[in-house]
Structure 1
Amino acid sequence: MSADTRSRMIDAAVTALQHRGVAGMSFTEILSAAGAARGAIYHHFPGGKKELVSEAALRNGADVRAVFAEVPGESPTAVVENFLATVRPVVEASTAGGGCAVAALTVAPEDERLRQIAAGAFDSWTAALAERLLAAGVPELRAAEDLAAMLIGLLEGAHITCRAAGAMGPFEQASRAAIELVRARYSSM
């Protein structure tokens, strides 16, 4: 039961990070969403908010990496199209005020540890996509890594621009451009 409480608290922290960021996240909100008693915070997270935020971002980063490692596709274009289809619902949530739990760490007030956790997650996402792109026919590691980095940049930028617009237009534009670029570069594969 104790592990379940801790897991529910981490899940609640991921959601809070997606909607309010590190600064806007409160213990009261986490406890309520997790159905946990007040003393559970320091029982499960003796390091307080920083420890809870770190654990939430690490879990979310690993979960997203696992999804990206399984993006299907037999060609680079198919991998890109399937990646965009996979992230679409997450970006749609941004239009209503959601966001990326990992990216929330990058604006934490001068916290180097949290920034490093975010950087590690983004690097792992890029590596997972690069592996998929290599398997789908991108001929060089550097090209696969560059394309993967562009896709992660597209995703993170779409969170911000779609949230600001309250609409999917920026994602749609970036998606069309990404697919056109990949088709032009890898159409013979």
Structure 2
Amino acid sequence: MPNDTKARMIDAALGALQRRGVAGMSFTEILEASGAARGAIYHHFPGGKAELVAEAASRNGQHVRSQLAALPGDTPAAIVDNFLAAVRPVVAASARGGGCAVAAITVEPDGDALRHIAGTAFTSWTTALAERLATTGVEPTEALDLATALICLLEGAHILCRAAGTLEPFEQTARAATGLIRSRYPHHEDGR
């Protein structure tokens, strides 16, 4: 089925972006990981590597946005706790040499179109998280500020944990974020 081949190629590109970024990603790697024939590249992605990368990053951005929009919780602390729990395994993968596929496309020279895709993804993540926080009674401007801080925490943790080879920078930041949110919204803890 052609769509299955295309989906496998996108998944393979996503993994390659997480491990090596755009510059380190090769078509040979994508073909091997996806089991696709060489002709499938330009059949499914006539724009070549740039189109494949753009589609993989866009799809990843949409997936993360959906997950953030569905975070459970009825207090700000619960939303933050669930956010941290959801991203912990992803950041752990960074400590083992992975990374954020969306962030990886921001460093491409002459990559204005890719940076636009990344910017759109990050904005959608922040918006989805802010909307969830607002449902718990956080004022919208403050919810947006908090959501932006959490996305910055996530993206910074990818880098620090990859460099350190450990999850500890994330855990330290998660403890700080949890403490700050609980001190800022103590009245939300018991549902009042």
Q: Normalization by structure 2: what TM-score?
A: 0.97
Instruction: Tell me what 2:32 maps to.
Output: 32
> How many angstroms apart in 1 are the aligned matches of 2:119 and 2:186?
32
> How many angstroms apart in 2 are the aligned matches of 1:120 and 1:52?
17
Matched, 1:12 2:12: yes
Matched, 1:82 2:82: yes
Instruction: Tell me what 2:52 maps to.
Output: 52
Q: Which amino acid aligns with 1:176?
A: R
Task: Please report how far the alpha carbon of residue 154 of structure 1 lies from its aligned counterpart in structure 2 after TM superposition.
Answer: 0.2
Task: Please report how far the alpha carbon of residue 109 of structure 1 lies from its aligned counterpart in structure 2 after TM superposition.
Answer: 1.5
Give deviations 1:12-52, integer Å, cap 9, x for gaps.
10010000000000000001111000011001000000000
Contiguous gaps of at least 5 residues in structure 1? none
Instruction: Tell me what 1:3 maps to.
Output: 3
Instruction: Tell me what 2:122 maps to.
Output: 122
After TM superposition, the structure 1 = structure 2 runs for residues 1-189 of structure 1, keeping only pairs within 5 Å, are: 1-138=1-138, 140-189=139-188
| SS across alignment from 2:187 | coil
Contiguous gaps of at least 5 residues in structure 2? none
Task: Please report how far the alpha carbon of residue 93 of structure 1 lies from its aligned counterpart in structure 2 after TM superposition.
Answer: 0.3
Q: Normalization by structure 1: what TM-score?
A: 0.98
> How many angstroms apart in 2 are the aligned matches of 1:152 and 1:36?
34
> How many angstroms apart in 2 are the aligned matches of 1:143 and 1:44?
43
Give deviations 1:110-138, integer Å, cap 9, x for gaps.
21000000000000000010011011221
Matched length: 188
> How many angstroms apart in 1 are the aligned matches of 2:3 and 2:120?
25
> How many angstroms apart in 2 are the aligned matches of 1:82 and 1:137?
17
Q: Which amino acid aligns with 2:80?
A: V
Give deviations 1:60-97, integer Å, cap 9, x for gaps.
00000011111111100110011000000000000110
- The percentage of aligned residue pairs carrying the same residue is 67
Q: Which amino acid aligns with 2:131?
A: E
> How many angstroms apart in 2 are the aligned matches of 1:175 and 1:64?
19
Q: CA RMSD in A?
A: 0.6
Task: Please report how far the alpha carbon of residue 162 of structure 1 lies from its aligned counterpart in structure 2 after TM superposition.
Answer: 0.3
> How many angstroms apart in 1 are the aligned matches of 2:98 and 2:137?
34
